[in-house]
Each structure stands twice: as C-alpha cells, then as structure tokens.
Structure 1
Amino acid sequence: MPGLLILLAIIAPSAADIQALEVTRVIGPYVETTRDGRFHAEFAPSVETRGTVCEATGDDAYDCRYETRTKAFFDNEFGAWEAIVVQLQWKEGRWRIIEPGK
C-alpha cells in the first residue's frame, strides 16, 4: 500500500485537479461556516478551466499552465479567458500551490 501512495504522488496533476484548485481559489472568499461546522458558499461564481499542461520540474513539483474564466452568480455569460501559470507540489495528501503566478 505505501508503494501505491508514492506512485500516486509522482503522477502529474490532472485537469480535474486543476479545476478543483481553481474552484477552491475562486469561491474561497464566499465560503462561510454553518452552525454545525460545515462549509457553505452562497452566490459563489462558476469556474471553467481549459488547456491544462503540467511539466515536471525535477524536484517533485510541476509547472502547470492553463486558462480559466469565471461567471458571477447573477451573470448570464462567462468572462474572458485568463492565462495562469503556477507551480504545484503534492503535500499532505493534496496538490498545493508552492509558487503562484510564475
């Protein structure tokens, strides 16, 4: 089982991983804690990503490039696509941004 965990850690971030990171980043300011300790985000924007490309940097990190766009809760259309470049590393069981906006 430990070998499987090591194998999972060295696989590059997927498009789904990048989507999850962007959703977390964008809706973070909208998140509130409920009385029972759960998280809730009311009127949070929608997020789309595309063109994800991640390349290993040699130190268990990955340089990732992708495009993202958001749509505010009450808007009818998404905004313009924005190019993003970040460096990610697998830490404590999840992908973490170690160098934003390289």
Structure 2
Amino acid sequence: MDWHYTEWQAKPIGFVGYSAASGGLLAIERLRQIFAELQAHTVRNAVTFPRYYELFGPEGELRDPEGPDSAAKAMLDELRWWGELLRQARRTQANTA
C-alpha cells in the first residue's frame, strides 16, 4: 500500500474481513488508520465473517447468506456514493491546478 501513495489519494476503500473471533475487525480498524495517512476515504460499512469456518458449507457456499448479502449491499452502495463524489472532486481539483 505504501509504495503506491498517490494512487490511493481521494479513493474510496471498503473492507471484507474474516477471522476466528472478530471477523477481521481489528485488522480493518488498523487499515483505516493507514489509509487515512494515504489520504484515502474508508467507508463505514464492511463485510465481516467471524467464525468463518462455521459460516460456509462443504462446497464453499454460505449457510445463511442474508447477513453478508445485506452488509455487502450497504458497503457497495456507500462505496458507489463516495466513489462518484470523490471522482468529481478529483476532476474539479485537476481542472483548477
């Protein structure tokens, strides 16, 4: 992430995390701090899979997809909104530079 500093500036970032207990929330919170320093915007909504080993069937399908589906929709809607806003802001900034 650090090697491509300028590529992250004014870009929206969403997270999908998994772990045995928290669903990757601790890693996501740390990454939020890092992306803030890279001048990227992280969206509030995330998709997490706590106890991921209990959530998926033998063929890799989600046993109960309703929760992750609604979390993904919320995150993607927020990413789309911020993406459009930040794209316009980058265009405006480029035109005034």
Q: TM-score, normalised by structure 1?
A: 0.26
Q: Which protein is richer in strand relative to its size? A: 1
- TM-score of the superposed pair, with normalisation by structure 2: 0.26
Q: 1 or 2 for the larger relative contact order (CA 8 Å, sep ≥6)?
A: 2
Greater per-residue helix proportion: 2
